[in-house]
């Protein structure tokens, strides 16, 4: 009898422990969700407060604020200007069996401008676009998402992943272009641009395609 009573008591303790653990997990999940909602509301409130402060500055104050932003955060200002400006016409040549005459690696495609007719200059079996490190550093979805979120945090952008597939792929493409430049050239600084080899450009586009084949292409340096 004593053994049976001890066994029953032990089972009851385990059952209570599981129940309390379950309640604790639910409670924690609830707190995490509540915290996220509070942070979102707090951010929206701060944005509205900042907008009100900017409106109250007057024309001269807003001009001074803009000059200060240009000096302190030129990358943010350029990003806003580029987003609001008219993009270049889309360009989407079909994948040809023969590479262009200026291509060495045999993986390039014809490009719309002379500046974009750039090859990685490697042998076909050593083309940068097919290297394993390219897949890890430039084409990995999770790394690109993290890089995009980090950039948004630095620029103070509220850029949540959209539901539309093409918009999401476009963001991944642009993030991949930036990753490639950082990998091959390091940090260039605000407004400075370099051309990415055609083979790598099309590797990125094929990995994160646009349904209509609409791609902006290279935008020259604004300071040139």
pLDDT value, residue 134: 95
Task: Say if 222 falls within a structural domain.
Answer: no
Answer whether residue 70 is part of any domain.
no
Shared-domain flag, residues 181 and 115: yes
Q: What is the pLDDT of residues 89-123, one digit of tens each?
A: 455 555 656 789 999 999 999 998 899 999 999 99
Q: Is residue 21 part of a domain?
A: yes
pLDDT single digits (tens) 155-213: 766 665 555 566 888 889 999 999 999 999 988 776 678 999 999 999 999 999 988 77
Identify whether residues 47 and 154 lie together within a single domain. Answer: no
- Do 198 and 132 lie in one domain? The reply is yes
What is the structure's pLDDT at 83? 54
Examine residue 219 and state whether it is found in any structural domain, yes or no: no
Number of domains in the chain: 2
Q: What is the DSSP string of the chain?
A: -HHHHHHHHHHHHHHHHHHHHHHHHHHHHHHHHHHHHHHHHHHHHHHHHHHHHHHTTHHHHHHHHHHHHHHH-HHHHHHHHHHHSPPPPP------SSPPTT-SSS-----SSTTT-------GGG-GGG-HHHHHHTS-HHHHHHHHHHHHHHHT---PPPS-HHHHHHHHHHHHHHHHHHHHH----TT---PPPHHHHHHHHHHS--TT---------TT-
The string of pLDDT tens digits covering residues 145-169 is 888 888 777 776 666 555 556 688 8
Q: Write down the pLDDT at residue 120.
A: 96
Q: Does some domain include residue 156?
A: yes
Question: pLDDT tens digits, residue range 25-63?
Answer: 444 444 444 554 555 567 677 777 888 888 888 888 888
Residue of higher predicted confidence among 170 and 8: 170
Is 10 part of any domain?
yes
For 113, the domain range is 92-207
Residues 186 and 114 reside in one and the same domain: yes
Q: Which is higher by pLDDT, 21 or 158?
A: 158
């Amino acid at each position: 009898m004593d053994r049976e009573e001890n066994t029953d008591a032990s089972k009851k303790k385990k059952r209570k422990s599981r129940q309390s653990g379950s309640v604790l997990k639910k409670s924690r999940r609830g707190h995490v969700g509540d915290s996220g909602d509070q942070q979102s509301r707090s951010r929206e409130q701060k944005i509205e407060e900042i907008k009100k402060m900017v409106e109250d500055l007057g024309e001269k104050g807003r001009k001074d604020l803009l000059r200060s932003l240009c000096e302190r955060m030129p990358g943010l200002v350029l990003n806003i200007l580029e987003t609001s400006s008219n993009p270049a016409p889309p360009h989407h040549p079909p994948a040809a069996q023969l590479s262009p005459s200026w291509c060495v690696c045999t993986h390039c495609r014809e490009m719309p401008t002379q500046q974009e007719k750039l090859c990685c200059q490697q042998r076909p079996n050593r083309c940068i676009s097919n290297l394993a490190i390219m897949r890890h550093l430039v084409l990995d979805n999770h790394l690109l998402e993290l890089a995009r979120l980090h950039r948004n945090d630095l620029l103070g952008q509220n850029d949540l992943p959209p539901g539309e597939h093409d918009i999401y792929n476009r963001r991944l493409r642009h993030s991949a272009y930036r990753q490639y430049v950082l990998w091959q050239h390091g940090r260039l600084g605000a407004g400075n641009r370099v051309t990415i080899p055609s083979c790598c450009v099309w590797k990125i586009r094929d990995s994160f395609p646009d349904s209509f084949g609409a791609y902006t292409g290279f935008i020259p340096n604004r300071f040139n």
